[in-house]
């Protein structure tokens, strides 16, 4: 009898959907990070080095010297480019080697891959395209909160040992504030869980609006603004594939309509650039802008300190959540009313992955 060995089917890599939505701008750095040293990062499984030359232009290259493969992020920044820390090859912002110490002739293949980057309003964006669309199809997103002069702001970068969509879930569901952030931006948990909520979405975005009228202001709010007593509080979250905008704040009870885009009171406008590092790790680039009525620098420092603390609290919860998901395996999870925004965001990501 003839035995025929049948090889197991292998996935068609060419038709498999990408791990992340492509043909998108993702946050690669905050502009303030790029000073006198190169910054090496893994973004969407690609190892890149970011740097700013003397003319202020930001560039992104593959983080690998074409000579002996040392990471270029281990090199030194010069006025016109980045010099490898092993044998001194100097690269300009396009990835072309422009100098080899001790050698006049530069081989034509002495270059590394460069990536499209744009810096807008203090945020550095990098384009991640498909093979069919390697160049940007549109400008990187603006963020005029940083440049309008109406707010003061600062920010930072957090690394997560967890997939990026768990961070999306957390930001799109602020009902958790009453349990996770009691010392900062939380407050009465019952009010948070019962807040009036509306959810709208289209093919690429989700907007969640939550109102909490006549509620007690949380510690961060009272530390930063002279509220008289209870407040009318709002939370507005806008999800985009690569970032979220979270506008929260409060006014004294009955003073301004929460639907009024020009309402006064205390504002916290958060920018949240959530960029996958790998399928299981993430970079979180954040800024927080606020509108102090007095003691501007002191209030800004308080808001930034409190914001950083809340992100530390979120990081603990999300990383522990992911560890437990791995520990228990792919068991089903139930949804409750606060999950509407996060579920829509996940559907959008799956649709965009399939379309790439």
* Share above pLDDT 70 across residues of the chain, in percent, rounded to a whole number: 90
Residues 232 and 252: their CA atoms lie apart, in Å, by 6
- pLDDT given at position 191: 65
Give pLDDT, residue 7.
39
Digit-coded pLDDT (tens) for 146-167: 999 999 999 999 999 999 999 9
The band of 16, judged by pLDDT with boundaries at 50, 70 and 90, is low
Q: What is the mean predicted confidence (pLDDT) over 123-128?
A: 98
Question: Which has the minimum average pLDDT: 59-63, 216-220, 350-354?
Answer: 216-220
pLDDT, one tens digit per residue, over 161-197 is: 999 999 999 999 877 766 666 666 666 666 666 678 8
**Is a pLDDT exceeding 50 seen at residue 10?**
no
Q: What's the pLDDT band for 92 if we cut at 50, 70, 90?
A: very high
Considering the chain, tell me which residue range(s) the CATH 2.102.10.10 domain(s) occupy. Answer: 24-128
Output 222 or 242, whichever has higher pLDDT: 242
- Each residue of 129-147: pLDDT tens digit? 999 999 999 999 999 999 9
What is the token pair recorded at 25? 């701008």
Bridge partners of residue 284, in order along the sequence: 158, 274
Q: At residue 117, what are phi and psi to the nearest 5 degrees?
A: -135, 150
CA distance 285 to 279: 17
How would you label 203-226 residue by residue, b for 16+ Cβ within 10 Å and e otherwise?
Answer: eebbbbbbbbbebebbebbeebbe
Tokens of 21: 């939505």
Level-2 CATH architecture, domain 152-355: Alpha-Beta Complex (3.90)
CATH superfamily assigned to domain 24-128: Rieske [2Fe-2S] iron-sulphur domain (2.102.10.10)
Segment 258-280 mean pLDDT: 96
pLDDT tens sequence across 306-323: 899 888 889 999 999 999
Residue 317 pLDDT = 93
Nearest to 24 by CA among 111, 104, 115, 93: 115
Q: Where in the chain is the domain with CATH 3.90.380.10?
A: 152-355
Given a cut of 70, whether residue 337 has pLDDT beyond it is yes
Q: What pLDDT does residue 271 have?
A: 98
Mean pLDDT, the chain, rounded, equals 91
Residue 356 above 50 pLDDT? Answer: yes
pLDDT at 8 (0 to 100): 41
pLDDT of the residue at 246: 96
Chain length of the chain: 356
Cβ–Cβ < 8 Å for 354, 206: no
Per-residue pLDDT at 5: 40
């Amino acid at each position: 009898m003839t035995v025929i060995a049948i090889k197991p089917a292998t996935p068609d890599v060419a038709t498999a959907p990408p791990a992340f939505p492509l043909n998108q701008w993702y946050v690669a750095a905050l502009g303030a990070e790029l000073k006198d040293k190169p910054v090496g990062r893994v973004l969407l499984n690609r190892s890149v080095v970011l740097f700013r030359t003397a003319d202020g232009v930001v560039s992104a290259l593959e983080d690998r010297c074409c000579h002996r493969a040392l990471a270029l992020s281990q090199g030194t920044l010069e006025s016109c480019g980045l010099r490898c820390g092993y044998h001194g090859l100097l690269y300009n912002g396009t990835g072309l080697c422009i100098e080899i110490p001790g050698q006049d002739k530069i081989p034509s293949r002495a270059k590394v891959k460069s990536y499209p980057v744009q810096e807008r309003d203090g945020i550095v964006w990098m384009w991640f395209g498909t093979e069919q669309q390697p160049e940007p199809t549109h400008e990187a997103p603006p963020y005029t909160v940083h440049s309008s002069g109406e707010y003061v702001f600062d920010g930072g970068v957090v690394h997560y040992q967890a997939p990026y969509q768990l961070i999306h879930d957390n930001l799109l569901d602020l009902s958790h504030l009453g349990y996770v952030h009691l010392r900062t931006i939380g407050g009465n948990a019952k009010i948070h869980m019962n807040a009036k909520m509306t959810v709208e979405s289209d093919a690429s975005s989700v907007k969640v609006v939550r109102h909490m009228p006549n509620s007690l202001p949380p510690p961060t709010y009272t530390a930063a603004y002279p509220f008289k007593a209870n407040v009318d509080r709002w939370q507005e979250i806008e999800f985009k594939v690569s970032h979220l905008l979270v506008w929260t704040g409060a006014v004294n009870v009955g003073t301004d309509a929460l639907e009024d885009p020009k309402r006064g009171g205390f504002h916290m406008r958060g920018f949240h650039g959530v960029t996958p590092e790998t399928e299981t790790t993430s970079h979180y680039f954040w800024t927080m802008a606020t509108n102090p009525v007095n003691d501007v620098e002191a209030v800004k420092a308080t808001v930034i300190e409190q914001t950083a603390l809340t992100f530390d609290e979120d990081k603990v919860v999300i990383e522990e959540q992911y560890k437990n998901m791995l520990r228990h395996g792919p068991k089903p999870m139930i949804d409750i009313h606060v999950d509407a925004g996060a579920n829509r965001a996940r559907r959008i990501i799956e649709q965009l992955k399939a379309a790439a």
